[in-house]
Structure formats: structure tokens, C-alpha cells
Amino acid sequence: MTTADGPRGADGWTAAVRQRLGLGRLLPLGGPSDGAWISERAAVAVLRGAVGGPGPGPVLGKLRISVADPDGAPAPEVEPPPSALPPGPLRMEATMSAMSGLPLPAAAAELRSALLAAAGQRLGLVVEEVDLRVTELLDTPPVRPTPEPAEAREARVIRSDQAGSGSGAGAREPIRARGPGPQGTAGAAAAGVPGVVALTRVLGHAVHTGPGRVRVELATDSGHRALDVARAVRGAVAAAVEGHPSVTVLVTAVVERD
């Protein structure tokens, strides 16, 4: 049996590629009708940056994100990317370090609040639970890493997302879907949406098309909420492509700006 993206076995191959490139799970952005997903790698990077400020506050350790109730999650109204999680409320599981001598419940509440705020306001993730586990007590304030310059971060993120595409395109040059047909039209429409930094090709092509549907992979600017960008891309692509197809968006990276 085949699908618009190839044989059924292609889904397993895609999942293996995604793991090899470190994308992690594909997390739903918004709800069942939003048709948008984001890689766990991209989401965790944003969340880690949002809670990694200076001072003696709690330090985020390992972080994993999953669907809180997989069996009760609603079905997506838009076709998801291969192996994507269903669009139900999410659960975060994380470890943390805290300063000894300070109340641990207060430290955990501070970190939980920061994670929830960043998930909703910067990404558009619907988070239902945040499970924190203290794994270390610190005697001195933590030494936090110095952030990379914005240009270095952008080059690294885009180069990583282009890995495996076979393309020699430079990291600073956004991928554009050119040429005639729905791929070129959809790519041009998506690339022109504010907040889109580049189209990416982690799971193959930047633009995947099938009967009545289009899937676009892209990187967003951290100055725009990922879900808002995805919604705008869906509208722009549906309006631009003949037949007004159903549009799915996969955010594979969020480029931090200073």
C-alpha cells in the first residue's frame, strides 16, 4: 500500500531519520484544527532559553514533552506529519537543580510557572501538566553558559536542519521552493509570511504535496509565536495554491534573536 509520500515503510524510515537528526517527537501546536506541529528539539531549546536567566533561581535539567492522555487525545482535523503526536494537551517531565537552603516548593513553582508561560506565549503549546523532580541541591549559584551571538545560532540551526538534504545551499540562504507547480507556489507563499526565517528539508523536501493537501517545513523567528506563524502560513499557502488545499505546517527550528 502506498501514500502520497511513498510506501507505508517510508513512515518508519522518516521516524528513523528524525531520531538521527535529533528532532525528537513532533509536538502539536495549538489544537486539532490548527494543523501545526513543532519538533521537540526546537521546543525544548526555546523553553530552556526562557528559563535560563542569571541568578540563583532553579536550573532546568532534562526535559521531555509528551501528550498527557494519548488514548483520550482528539484526532487531528488536518493530516499530521509522519509519526507526529496527536493534538491533545501536553505533559512536561523535567529534572531541576536548586540552591540548598531555599524552599524547594517555591523553586519548583517558579520553574513550572516559567515553563508554562514560555510554552504558551512563545510557542503555542497547550500544556496540561508539568512534572518536576529535584535531582541536585547546589551550594553556590549555578554558572550559566553565555548565550551565542544571534548570527552564530541562526547559522547552526539552519545548517542542522539542512543536514541530510543533499543540498549544498549555504546556511545563511533560506531554502525556497522554486519552479512551477504547487510546490513552488506553496514555498513562495510560505517564505513570504512574517516570522518565517527559512524553509527546511529535514524530512525530505521543504514542501510535500498530495491530493488536496500540502505540508510545509520551516524555521521561525523567535520574535514571533510559532503557532501564530504556522496559522499565517497555512492561510497564505491555502490561498495561493489552486484548489485551496488542506495545509500542514511543521516547525523544525526556532531561530533566536538578540
Could you read off the pLDDT of 124-171 as tens digits, one per residue?
Answer: 999 999 999 988 887 776 665 555 544 444 444 444 444 434 333 333
pLDDT at 141: 65
pLDDT at 34: 97
* pLDDT class of 103 with cuts at 50, 70, 90: confident
Domain 43-138, CATH homologous superfamily name and number: Cation efflux protein, cytoplasmic domain (3.30.70.1350)
244 forms bridges with which residues in the sheet? none
Backbone φ and ψ of 11, nearest 5°: -60, -45
What value does the mean pLDDT take over residues 78-103?
91
Residue-level length of the chain: 258
- From-to residues of CATH 3.30.70.1350 in the chain: 43-138
- Percentage of the chain modeled with pLDDT above 70: 73
- Residue scoring higher pLDDT (121 or 173): 121
What value does the mean pLDDT take over residues 33-54?
91
Query: In the chain, what are the helix, strand and coil shares in percent, each to the nearest 5?
Result: 35, 30, 40
Cα 146 to Cα 80, 143, 150, 194, distances in angstroms = 37, 9, 12, 29
- Is the pLDDT at 59 greater than 60, yes or no? yes
Cα 153 to Cα 124, 150, 159, 162, 186, distances in angstroms = 22, 5, 10, 14, 27
Backbone φ and ψ of 140, nearest 5°: -130, 155
Give the separation between CA 130 and CA 246, rounded to whole angstroms.
33
38 forms bridges with which residues in the sheet? 27, 251
Q: Are strands 36-39 and 246-255 parallel, antiparallel or unpaired?
A: parallel
What value does the mean pLDDT take over residues 180-203?
87
Contact between residue 197 and residue 230 where contact means Cβ atoms under 8 Å apart: no
